[in-house]
Structure 1
Amino acid sequence: MKSVIRLGLCAAALWGGAALAGDEWNQPAYGGSGVDDQSYMPAKETGSDKGLYVLLGGGTEGYTGDLAPDLNAGFAYGATIGYKPTRGLGLELGYNGGLTDIDTFGPGGAADGADIIRNGGQAAITVGLVPTRLQPYLMGGIGIENHNVRGLSPLAGYQDDTSGYVPAGVGLRYNIGTLLTADARVSYNIPFDQDFAPISNDIWNGRYQALLQLGGTY
């Protein structure tokens, strides 16, 4: 009789433990249909957090193609606000800018400080590649930017200009705890209708940018 009671108590304990564990495991996996047991995984392993995120940071940017010999790489800065409706998809609006010296006019450029101050804004989509909290992603979108040329007359070949560009890049995002987010991305920006420099609008006459941003997901 005692053995039967012990077995009954053990069965009850196991049943209760399984019910509690079910709450942890009954979370749809990244991309899962939620139909069978194989599409479930622990909540703590569901990957990059969903929700609103805000990022702020800095890095470097430079120019390629015919622009590369004349324009030195310089400091870049950026701010991003976005929303992830799923753990794989992100929709974001970003502000970014950069400071550039024109190498033709010596190490210090043509003006005190940066010769070209660029400011721009863009709308982009990010697509996560794997269902992990450390998540690599692809990024693409469209943007508009303004180049403010300082210390030079238009006769030098450089002038103030507002133009468009298409950003395309890759990134790596990590959610630290429940709030902090770190994001590193590298993008190549293809210009169109660009006239700030004496070059043709060509896919190779573009701009690259590398940013490290920190912020939070809420």
Structure 2
Amino acid sequence: MKSVIRMGLCVAALWGGAALAGEDWKQPGTGGSGMERERSVYRAEDRGADTGLYVLLGGGTEGYTGSNAAALNPGFAYGATVGVKPSKLLGFELNYNGALNDVDLAGPGGTADGADIVRQGGQAAITLGLTTTKLQPYVLGGVGIQNYNVRGASPVFGFVDDTSGYVPAGVGLRYNITRLITADARVDYNIPFAQDFAPDNDVGDGRYKALLQLGGTY
């Protein structure tokens, strides 16, 4: 719960700073050539959502649902995304993501020195914007593959090393702060398939991830 609250505060701080940056960016210039003055009064809302290549890096939190929620503590998550938007609404992206979690049943500190569960994965996804504005909500869906490395005594409370697939489905909010700076906050739920990592591997025994990413659109 503390990780989720911290993530919410980070998102709120980001949007506040981004809004101030956006207002400064829209202020008209007081000198220079006519072309410079035209660029200085360029209004982001007239431009709306960006198109083109984008790259994002960030971190957040990841936890588990269903029967696995009580067994695994939420932990640090990280990700890197490369995508392209051929239009203001449609996007295609490749994402590398991972997380570090402890087994709650093992007590404080888990079973190993460091994270008990190290997960790494990659996914391909499609994003669909819900508006064409600079501040753009969107939905995403795709397919991915992931590897679980269970550290310490293995198997640990029924958790074992495993490579499996998953289906990510989520929502996000992207903000083009300037022409080159992009902020992205997203939350997704990942449905496992062909997974033997945990004692329970049903649809409801998946994982959630919240990421705050910064990068650029080119």
| Same fold? TM cut 0.5 | yes
Which residues in structure 2 correspond to 1:1-218 (within 5 Å)? 45-154=46-155, 156-199=157-200, 201-218=201-218
* Displacement after TM superposition at 1:76 (Å): 0.2
Percentage identity across paired residues of the two chains: 72
Distance 1:202 1:96, change over 3 A: same
* Displacement after TM superposition at 1:152 (Å): 2.0
Cα distance in 2 for partners of 1:43, 1:173 equals 14
Amino acid at match of 1:211: L
* Displacement after TM superposition at 1:155 (Å): 6.8
Amino acid at match of 1:214: L
Amino acid at match of 2:116: D
Cα distance in 2 for partners of 1:154, 1:43 equals 54
Amino acid at match of 1:196: F
Q: TM-score, normalised by structure 2?
A: 0.79
Q: Which moved more, 1:70-79 or 1:149-158?
A: 149-158
> Which has more radius of gyration?
1
* Aligned-CA RMSD value: 1.5
Amino acid at match of 2:203: I
* Displacement after TM superposition at 1:57 (Å): 0.2
* Displacement after TM superposition at 1:46 (Å): 3.7
Distance 1:89 1:155, change over 3 A: closer
Amino acid at match of 1:90: G
Which string of whole-angstrom CA distances, capped at 9 and with x for unpartnered residues, describes residues 111-157 of structure 1? 00000000000000000001200000000000000000000222741
Q: How many residues align?
A: 177
Contact 2:45 2:134 in 1 (8 A): no
Cα distance in 1 for partners of 2:113, 2:56 equals 30
Which string of whole-angstrom CA distances, capped at 9 and with x for unpartnered residues, describes residues 72-93 of structure 1? 0000000000000000001000
Name the SS for the 1:154 alignment partner. Answer: coil
Q: TM-score, normalised by structure 1?
A: 0.79
Distance 1:70 1:185, change over 3 A: same
Contact 1:116 1:149 in 2 (8 A): yes
Unpaired runs of at least 5, structure 1: 1-23, 25-41
User: Structure 1 stretches (4+) deviating beyond 3 angstroms?
Assistant: none
Q: Which moved more, 1:190-199 or 1:52-61?
A: 190-199
Name the SS for the 1:104 alignment partner. Answer: helix
Contact 1:95 1:121 in 2 (8 A): yes
Cα distance in 1 for partners of 2:211, 2:52 equals 22
Distance 1:43 1:208, change over 3 A: closer
Cα distance in 2 for partners of 1:196, 1:188 equals 17
Distance 1:155 1:46, change over 3 A: closer
